[in-house]
Chains A and B, each alone.
Chain A
Amino acid sequence: MPNTLSRRDFLKVGGAAVGALALSEFIPPRVAEAARVSGLLDSTSSGYIPTMCEMCVWRCGVLAKVEDGRVVKLEGNPGHPHSNGNLCPRGQSGLMNTYDPDRVLTPLIRVGKRGEGKFRKASWEEALDVVAKNMLKIKDKYGAEAMIFSSTHNLSQVQFENLLNAFGSPNYGTQRSLCFNAMIVSNLMTYGMEEPDRSYENLKYIILTGRNLMEAISTSETSALSKAIDRGAKVVSLDPRFTKTAAKSTEWLAIRPGTDSAFHLALLNVIISEGLYNAGFVANSTTGFDKVAASVVSYTPEWAAAITEIPAETIRRIAREFAAAAPYALAHNGWRTSNFVNSFQTERAIGVLNAIVGNWGTAMSAASGEESGGLGAPPQPAYPRISAQRLDGVPWKYPFVPLKIGVFQELREAALSGDPYQPHGWFIARQNPAMSLPDRGRTLQAFGKMDFIVTIDIIMNDTSWFSDVVLPEASYLERYDPLNIVGDKAYLRQPVIEAQGEGKSALWIYKELGARLGLADFFQYTDEEDYLKQQLAPLGVSLDEVRQKGYAQLPGESGESPELNWNTPSGKIELFSSSLDRAGFSGVPQWEEPPAPKPGQFYFLTGKVAQSTQFGTQNNQLLHKYSDEPRLWMNTAIAKGLGLADNDLVEVASTAGKIHIKLEATQAIRPDCVYLTPGYGHLSKGLTTAYGWGASDSDVHVTYTDPISGSQALSQTFVTVKKI
């Protein structure tokens, strides 16, 4: 990966390079021409083009400012409900992903040993042939199920799923079990939907359980929370760290990791025993209240105080304040600051808490979802029947985990153990398991078990580094994706500049690969624009119009949502879940004691910062410029006791592995915890900005899976810290 561009100037240099490329190939600039035709760009190819961000999965609407065929600035689209005209730092820096000097611009085929990073350039023809040949070889020899397909939440995922289903493999990995399986499965059990919509409009009281919205920014939600605070809403933040969200909260409770469910169970205890719940709503819209009431009797604030280290009085007061503020109150689903095997119980307790005080319809409402919403789709034949078991244990081991979500870490474990069978190939699109899965050493071992690995990405990510073929995708500013439905509109991601190098859209890649795999019938669209036209066909809207506006208006029920409708077996909010009960789990939320660190060990926490998303943005030079150096947080008093000072290099060790990292002594963390910003410590030397910066949490994380939700218990890793 030659990188001759100097880091400093490359915002300027990049343009020249792209211009030169376009000229030398004598390809008419299709994007610019089309944009001129639709009036978005003027005769000098300058103007604003509406499209959609892809720096995280929130998908803010952006207006890309284009000058002479170069994107020079991204603005939040004031007309998009996810951005409202604003962008977070990642959104603002998005163009640096596109203009990253480390971009992979041609297909690459490995020539050295795996992990050596030696590749040769190849044509798309050759690269796709190699991929198809290897995939078919594995299919012939071991069956289609020997190919693992994994991809992270993205707009072209529908065609990714199409590819894997058509190919005939059941083995589908997403990142969700590393993130919020506990929340999703709990919501499905309680409300019959993955994640109810939240509204902050009139909220007076918000409990955030490890939800660090001021750093894990979802632009419109962060903005809504901030406005609620400005208005005077009370915010209680449960977090072992003094996060930037805690700093904005009215009250910060430095709860002991793993005990959030005890706190919420105690809230239930107070609200139920003092009769503060919404009896009418409970009677009409929920089932199983009595069972919950009976089960929380022992969960008194005094009981919880001993476990959570939050005074009983505080818990009692918060319970009363919360109930008094209802229905303009919200207990926000936790995310991952303290994820334990009991997190499912925490999520259930939160779900029940919101339900019994009657927050439905005010703070929460039915999810609008991302389903087809009346859009068309290319025709396709039926998928082949798949008889093989899934490697990740869904549903035979994890009956409650949706197939589309899966248990990613179990996939890897199966690859290592060969149980129930051995996979031999791994198709990875825009995902970086080498960084995201816990216990990186095991992930690399799993790569070693593969006959063939192919990745699709725009940069040489750490997983690509270990791949046999790397297919260069066009960046989100260079390609079309399938439409994205938000509310009553379908929003468009469209190219605002020509794809650099030979980057291609995922839609194109899957179609071309499908053809080579003999699956052409499953990809009945000629190109990206044709795909979109087929999506838009039922609406009677032209693609040109959608390109100009950035969205298509969907027909049907606008505004008012239908009847309160919970897709549960009982059709009501299930405070007691008979499904869980039948499967041998507790039907009501209950306390499960999580493991705790031994003396000399610390809880190892990870979390979010506003300047990076997961594992994919650390090489963005603009974000790198404005990020804090990732260091290991440790409480100042503890650090002093251990003879450690700021910036000392320390070794952090768990049973999974160890890392070396600089220390940050801070007041902002519980004495029994340490914290590390995840996503750093990259292995790929093809990432010249990120390589050598920080250390990887996945080297230290131990794999623990929640038996109900399949969630990885990310905070259930205990480490020792010593000076080196």
Chain B
Amino acid sequence: MTDIQHKAFLFDATRCIDCRACMVACSVENKIDMDKTRIWVAGVGLIGQYPELKRASMVYHCMHCNEPDCLSACPVGAYSKRNDGPVLYNKDKCIGCRYCMNACPFGVPHFDWDKGLIDGAFIDKCTMCPQRIDKGLEPACVATCPTDALVFGERADLVKEAHARIQAHPERYVDHVYGEFENGGTSYLILSHVPFAELGLPNLGERPVKDVSEKVMEITIPFALGWGTVLTGTAVAVHLLNQKKAAKAKKVEEEQTEEAVK
């Protein structure tokens, strides 16, 4: 799974100073409305009692899953995953059902609650700045980060880099790279000094959450055909049985009538 060849982010919570330059950069780069955002701070903030304190916060945006659940869930195929990493959303196909928001285990896609039919209410989420990475630039959030808490590169390299950082300072990190395997692997890899739950990250298995529902969908059509056949068979059988019964009853009746006549 680590040999997936595409771009990814590596976020290091020990480096993040919660300055929010990434958020401003994203808002400007992507011309996000003043009351919306594609990127936010998650985490419990302060942990502990004065004076034994820690700070737990992370920059949160789309994880760009290797196997995106939003993409699986969307009834009209408005999501796509580019070969080089970005999970993209196409507003021209969207019907506004918001199933993707339910599907995403990270709660990433968000919706234009304030837009009516004329403005058009759509989903929005981080795009990995394709307009920048196509030109060889880093995504806006990464480019501006003053402490290199966010870096961008080939996923395979970043996985190595993440493990190297843990090895270099085992006392500093939780010995785990979140997103290396979580939910089928994500393109947003996270290093932390506090348990990942305290950064607001869900506890996920190695298979994406869409796994079961996709398996169920795979057997749906065969099941429908089979079930249709069974029902047809039953209907025919019942009908024949009833006809036979009716015929028998008729026969009995006729015999009785005959007997009576006799």
| Chain A interface residues toward B at CB < 8 A | 7-12, 72-76, 85-89, 91-93, 95, 214-215, 217, 219, 222-223, 226-227, 229-230, 232, 242, 244-248, 252, 254, 610-611, 621-623, 625-626, 635-637, 666-671
Verify A242–B53 contact, CB threshold 8 A: yes
Verify B15–A215 contact, CB threshold 8 A: no
> Which A residues are in CB contact (< 8 Å) with B34?
7-11, 621-622, 625
- Please report the C-alpha to C-alpha distance between residue A8 and residue B119 in the assembled complex, in whole angstroms: 14
- Please report the C-alpha to C-alpha distance between residue A86 and residue B53 in the assembled complex, in whole angstroms: 29
Q: How many A-B residue pairs have CB under 8 A?
A: 137
Question: Can you give 24 contacting A-B residue pairs, CB < 8 Å?
Answer: A7-B34, A7-B35, A75-B144, A86-B145, A87-B21, A93-B24, A217-B19, A222-B17, A226-B147, A230-B14, A230-B15, A232-B169, A245-B17, A247-B54, A248-B17, A252-B51, A610-B18, A610-B19, A611-B20, A625-B37, A626-B27, A667-B46, A667-B48, A670-B50
**B28 touches which one: A73, A88, A245 (CB < 8 A)?**
A73
Q: Given that A89-B20, A248-B17, A625-B34 are known contacts, is A667 also in contact with B53, CB under 8 Å in the complex?
A: yes
Binary interface profile of B, 215-252, with partner A (CB < 8 Å = 1, else 0)?
A: 00000000000000000000000000000000000000
- Please report the C-alpha to C-alpha distance between residue A86 and residue B25 in the assembled complex, in whole angstroms: 11
- Please report the C-alpha to C-alpha distance between residue A29 and residue B48 in the assembled complex, in whole angstroms: 58
20 A-B pairs besides A215-B19, A242-B53, A667-B53 with CB distance below 8 A are: A9-B33, A11-B28, A11-B34, A76-B144, A86-B144, A89-B19, A91-B144, A92-B28, A93-B24, A214-B17, A229-B15, A230-B148, A244-B18, A610-B17, A610-B21, A623-B24, A626-B24, A626-B27, A626-B37, A635-B50
> Which B residues are in CB contact (< 8 Å) with A636?
50
> Which B residues are in CB contact (< 8 Å) with A637?
50
- Please report the C-alpha to C-alpha distance between residue A12 and residue B33 in the assembled complex, in whole angstroms: 9
Interface size class of B (residues with CB under 8 A): 20 to 34
- Please report the C-alpha to C-alpha distance between residue A219 and residue B19 in the assembled complex, in whole angstroms: 11
- Please report the C-alpha to C-alpha distance between residue A463 and residue B18 in the assembled complex, in whole angstroms: 32
**Chain A interface helix/strand/loop/mixed:** mixed
Verify A92–B21 contact, CB threshold 8 A: yes
Verify B53–A668 contact, CB threshold 8 A: yes
Verify B17–A244 contact, CB threshold 8 A: yes
Q: Given that A89-B20, A230-B15, A252-B51 are known contacts, is A95 also in contact with B143, CB under 8 Å in the complex?
A: no
Verify B31–A89 contact, CB threshold 8 A: no
Would you give the shortest CB distance from B52 to chain A, in whole angstroms?
9
State whether the Cβ of B100 lies closer than 8 Å to any Cβ in chain A. no
State whether the Cβ of B146 lies closer than 8 Å to any Cβ in chain A. yes
> Which B residues are in CB contact (< 8 Å) with A229?
15
Would you give the shortest CB distance from A665 to chain B, in whole angstroms?
11
CB proximity to A under 8 Å, residues B1-49? 14-15, 17-21, 23-25, 27-29, 31, 33-35, 37, 46, 48-49
- Please report the C-alpha to C-alpha distance between residue A429 and residue B21 in the assembled complex, in whole angstroms: 28
B144, closest chain A residue (CB): A87
Verify A11–B31 contact, CB threshold 8 A: yes
**A92 touches which one: B25, B50, B55 (CB < 8 A)?**
B25
Would you give the shortest CB distance from B32 to chain A, in whole angstroms?
8
Binary interface profile of B, 185-215, with partner A (CB < 8 Å = 1, else 0)?
A: 0000000000000000000000000000000
- Please report the C-alpha to C-alpha distance between residue A637 and residue B51 in the assembled complex, in whole angstroms: 12
In the A-B complex, the 5 residue pairs with the smallest Cβ-Cβ separation, listed nearest first, are A247-B55, A610-B19, A226-B147, A92-B24, A214-B17
Verify B31–A91 contact, CB threshold 8 A: no
> Which B residues are in CB contact (< 8 Å) with A74?
28
Verify B28–A72 contact, CB threshold 8 A: yes
Verify A610–B20 contact, CB threshold 8 A: yes
A11, closest chain B residue (CB): B31
Verify B144–A92 contact, CB threshold 8 A: yes
Verify A8–B51 contact, CB threshold 8 A: no
B169, closest chain A residue (CB): A232
Verify A222–B146 contact, CB threshold 8 A: yes
State whether the Cβ of B140 lies closer than 8 Å to any Cβ in chain A. yes
Q: Given that A8-B35, A252-B53, A667-B48 are known contacts, is A226 also in contact with B148, CB under 8 Å in the complex?
A: yes
- Please report the C-alpha to C-alpha distance between residue A91 and residue B20 in the assembled complex, in whole angstroms: 11
B49, closest chain A residue (CB): A667
Verify A671–B19 contact, CB threshold 8 A: no
Q: Which of A10, A85, A635, A637 has the most CB of B within 10 A?
A: A85
- Please report the C-alpha to C-alpha distance between residue A93 and residue B144 in the assembled complex, in whole angstroms: 11
- Please report the C-alpha to C-alpha distance between residue A89 and residue B21 in the assembled complex, in whole angstroms: 4
Verify B46–A87 contact, CB threshold 8 A: no
